[in-house]
Amino acid sequence: MSFASDYLQLDVMRSLDHIKKVDGVVNNAGIAIIKPFEELSEEDFDKTFSINAKAVFNVSQMMASRMPNMGGSIVNVSSLASLRSFQGHCVYSASKAAVDSITRSLALELGPRNIRVNSVNPTVILTRMGRENWSDPAKAKPLLDNIPLHRFGEVSEVVDAIIYLLSDKSSFMNGHSLPLEGGYCAC
């Protein structure tokens, strides 16, 4: 896994050679291997953590060096699964909890340079993958019954939250994990 990560880091650095200043970064890469704990392999664990957590660390480190001391914003796309437990989500949840921990640590370390770091933590969002995985009403109903808005989120709702966190309108938000879950956590 680190071999692939090294190539990714090299490719990213090459593509950024001409970019001298970065104001905002969104770490959105992710993978979800959902299966019972006893069926998960070491490869499942390594792949999930490499994509979901290590990539956030690597890209943030590369981009922070290009952010000016006058500020910037990093937004990490995490998951509600980092804040709540779901059946079959052991490794996925742990990897997204790592993203939230990285978010808080970077907020502390980069804050003195006026670089804010936050995460968004959506529940099911109706991306192509979300529509495929949650199209079965029997599967979706138990989760929807626990969401007071009785629906899953739209991509535009996550995008709006990310844009807000990148903007100066959130200039005093740093180190937060923002649940986007239609009220699920209120239940």
Q: Quick check: is 20 catalytic?
A: no
Q: Which of 21, 92, 164, 169 is catalytic?
A: 92
Q: 0.85 exceeded by the pTM?
A: yes
Cβ-contact 55, 102 below 8 angstroms: no
Going from the first residue of the chain to its last (187 residues), give the mean pLDDT of each consecutive group of 10, the final group possibly shorter. Answer: 53 72 93 95 98 96 87 96 93 98 99 98 93 91 96 98 98 98 91
| Chosen CATH of 20-180 out of 2.60.40.10, 3.30.365.10, 3.40.50.720, 3.10.129.10 | 3.40.50.720
Maximum alpha-carbon separation in the chain: 51
Question: Distance between CA atoms of 118 and 124, rounded to whole angstroms?
Answer: 19
Domain residue spans of the chain: 20-180
Burial class (CB in 10 A: 0-12, 13-18, 19+), 163: middle
- Predicted local distance difference test score (pLDDT) of residue 3: 43
Terminal Cα distance for the chain, rounded: 39
Q: Which of 21, 54, 96, 141 is catalytic?
A: 96
For 70, what's the count of Cα atoms within 13 Å in the CB-facing half-sphere?
Answer: 4
Q: Quick check: is 96 catalytic?
A: yes
List the structure tokens of 168: 């100066």
- Predicted local distance difference test score (pLDDT) of residue 4: 52
The DSSP symbol for 80 reads: G
